[in-house]
Structure 1
Amino acid sequence: MSGQDTAPERQTGLAMRRGFMGKCPSCGEGRLLNSYLKVNDHCPACGEAMHHQRADDGPAYLTILIVSHLGAPLLLWVYMAFRPSPMAMLIGFSLAAVVLSLLLLPRIKGAMVGLQWARRMHGFGSNAEPDSA
């Protein structure tokens, strides 16, 4: 039996909410991101190591999925209800998709880092730092 099996369970929902809000999934105090999408190596408040995260392209794919699933029915409803010109729809929905994507992307990345932390994925559950090995 490894030490990871006896570790206390981490609340996945709470960690994902904290990450979504841009806070450390461990303490909920420190900032998770130090720029638009760059994750801090360590939490400035509690010192929790965050360099283990491996979000990669996942947040981008989820952002595209959410924005398109919100935009498609809305596009159909707006067209059926108001019959705007094609140019107005193109400009309006393009701008809305870009703005919504830019707002959601760092939040989804934070939630994904929170999920990884809560589930002890990619080294979040180990006690040893890779530099000390």
Structure 2
Amino acid sequence: MFHTLSSAEIPFFSLLEGEKTWSWVEIGIRIPLFLVSIIQKERDEAEKLPVCRDLLMSDVNQVVDIFKQQSDLLTVTEVLILSPNHMNRKNKGESFQLNKVKQIWKHTHSQGHTFVLSNGERLSDCSNKARKMELLLNID
């Protein structure tokens, strides 16, 4: 869902082998994106400081999976949703809005999801009103 050009690569700034760093990426389609903040610790290196990382994801299932992977070495600290303007009730002409997510619900009879925000507002990525939903993730 993201793309860029090779001219955007910053070749001298990579922390991990195989990692590439870009000065910009383009969002190819207007769907909800998730900014997941995590803290990672090294298993055998107690003297090292934990690494804080922010992961931008386009698949809600990846967000749920990373929560399931939490352990003493990996902690999710926050999930933000970057919602496109067609999902936002208060459409003020912005392309996207950034909000903190408290819960993610799966619509049982469609591929849609409902996101409960920290301010109590609900956003849905599906135009159909869900009659039944299953709680996928409760973020404290």
TM-score, L = length of structure 2: 0.25
**More strand, by proportion:** 2
Q: Which has the larger radius of gyration?
A: 1
**More helix, by proportion:** 1
